[in-house]
């Protein structure tokens, strides 16, 4: 049988451009979905996610109480990481406008969610980022997260004061840190990323972020740098804490271990390295029914740079808008939205493998 996958081609690292800028066929979300729905699954070698969760009474997957509003303020980023599920990079021009931010602020003021989670790209690169943070902080949401890639803090003088800015608005900083060694970090995220990240972490620690007993929360996110699943989150947190403290005197609060989902650049990587089928087998084999009830989409709404609503950031990147009458922030209605079926596909196996995976780490 002929493979439905694109022809494998060795990828030079690090990549300099997004899939979109390279006109890669995977920049088309319907092509990604064709791969995820076809091949191994259509041929019956692996079960569809839908059938797996149906067996335990979770299909259709339904939301529980909304807890997290995740807002993606744009796909522009100073990095072009190999595994990026957003396909972010300096060449991505999709940026949330102030008008859309104003619509988000109305929602933030009235939401029942206790957590606001700003993400990107590098959210700090949105020209209205600081205005938005200042305004959003006034709503007094309990946990206000900004996902920072760390290197942005050292990318340009205009960002050097970000640690002070975060502190001023009591922002909870969650930062990617693929590993505590230079080699593994730079392999995934590009040359020089490790050193800049260390410097940024030291700057955050100097403001009190991540220090034992400090209310200024600093958490790190680990995701594997290859076609394998993350190890035990608690064990890794211990290793990260020990190594970063010993080598650089760095402190942080928690480590979240996140599974790479087979979409966008990670899908491209899997195909280019001829690991796609093995990875899907690994995800399905590691399926943990106990993780299903708490997958991220059951308590989150994801909002894109142009105001569309999604079940999660991954569905956003596959352009799978919510299955609801309310599809855009301008029509936002939490009660109507909460009465919907969540859209799933085979990428969802990434959220239920092992101890499960979400933007806040394990879920089971």
Q: Which residues are near ligand SF4 by CB under 6 A?
A: 77, 79-81, 84, 86, 88-89, 120-122, 149, 176, 189, 295-297, 311-312, 314-315, 342, 344, 347-348, 351
State the minimum distance, in angstroms, from the CB of residue 213 to ligand SF4: 29
Closer to ligand SF4 by CB, 58 or 217: give it.
58
Angle, vertex CA 311, rays to CA 302 and CA 169, nearest 5: 25
Closer to ligand SF4 by CB, 122 or 301: give it.
122
The span from the CA of 217 to the CA of 355, in Å, is 23
The span from the CA of 258 to the CA of 275, in Å, is 19
State the minimum distance, in angstroms, from the CB of residue 313 to ligand SF4: 8
State the minimum distance, in angstroms, from the CB of residue 359 to ligand SF4: 9
Tell me 251's DSSP state: -
Closer to ligand SF4 by CB, 254 or 316: give it.
316
**Half-sphere exposure at residue 150, Cβ-oriented, CA atoms within 13 angstroms:** 26
Angle, vertex CA 133, rays to CA 132 and CA 139, nearest 5: 95
Closer to ligand SF4 by CB, 203 or 311: give it.
311
The span from the CA of 295 to the CA of 339, in Å, is 17
Q: Give the SS3 label for residue 256.
A: strand
Q: How many CB atoms lie within 10 A of CB 330?
A: 12
State the minimum distance, in angstroms, from the CB of residue 264 to ligand SF4: 9
State the distance between the two ends of the chain, measured CA to CA, in whole angstroms.
Answer: 38
State the minimum distance, in angstroms, from the CB of residue 49 to ligand SF4: 8
**Half-sphere exposure at residue 356, Cβ-oriented, CA atoms within 13 angstroms:** 16
State the minimum distance, in angstroms, from the CB of residue 140 to ligand SF4: 27
Closer to ligand SF4 by CB, 103 or 266: give it.
266
Closer to ligand SF4 by CB, 80 or 200: give it.
80
29 close to 318: Cβ distance less than 8 angstroms: yes
State the minimum distance, in angstroms, from the CB of residue 196 to ligand SF4: 11
The span from the CA of 361 to the CA of 356, in Å, is 8
Closer to ligand SF4 by CB, 86 or 218: give it.
86
Tell me 224's DSSP state: -
């Amino acid at each position: 049988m002929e493979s439905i996958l694109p022809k494998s081609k060795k990828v030079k690292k690090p990549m300099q451009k997004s899939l979109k800028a390279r006109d890669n066929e995977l920049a088309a979300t319907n092509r990604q979905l064709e791969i995820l729905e076809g091949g191994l699954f259509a041929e019956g070698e692996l079960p569809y996610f839908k059938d797996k969760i149906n067996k335990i009474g979770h299909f259709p997957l339904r939301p529980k109480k909304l807890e997290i509003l995740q807002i993606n303020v744009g796909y522009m980023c100073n990095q072009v990481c190999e595994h990026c599920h957003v396909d972010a990079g300096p060449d991505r021009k999709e940026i949330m406008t102030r008008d859309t931010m104003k619509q988000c602020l109305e929602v933030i003021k009235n939401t029942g969610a206790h957590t606001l989670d700003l993400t990107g790209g590098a959210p700090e690169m949105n020209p209205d980022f600081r205005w938005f943070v200042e305004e959003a902080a006034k709503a007094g949401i309990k946990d206000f997260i900004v996902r920072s890639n760390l290197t942005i803090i050292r990318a340009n003088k205009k960002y050097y004061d970000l640690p002070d800015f975060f502190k001023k608005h009591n922002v909870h900083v969650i930062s990617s840190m693929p590993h505590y060694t230079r080699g593994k970090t730079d392999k995934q995220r590009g040359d020089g990323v490790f050193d800049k990240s260390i410097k940024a972490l030291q700057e955050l620690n100097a403001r009190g972020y991540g220090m034992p007993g400090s209310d200024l929360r600093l958490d790190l996110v680990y995701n594997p740098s290859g076609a394998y699943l993350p190890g035990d989150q608690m064990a890794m947190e211990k290793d990260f804490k020990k190594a970063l403290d010993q080598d650089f005197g760095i402190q942080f609060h928690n480590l979240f271990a996140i599974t790479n989902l087979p979409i966008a650049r990670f899908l491209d990587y899997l195909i280019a390295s001829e690991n796609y089928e093995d990875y899907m087998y690994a995800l399905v084999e590691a399926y943990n029914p106990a993780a299903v009830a708490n997958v991220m989409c059951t308590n989150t709404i994801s909002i894109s740079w142009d105001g569309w609503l999604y079940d999660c950031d991954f569905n956003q990147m596959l352009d799978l808008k919510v299955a609801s009458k309310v599809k855009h922030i301008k029509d936002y209605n939490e009660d109507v939205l909460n009465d919907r079926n969540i859209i799933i596909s085979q990428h969802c196996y990434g959220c239920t493998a092992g101890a499960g995976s979400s933007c806040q780490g394990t879920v089971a």
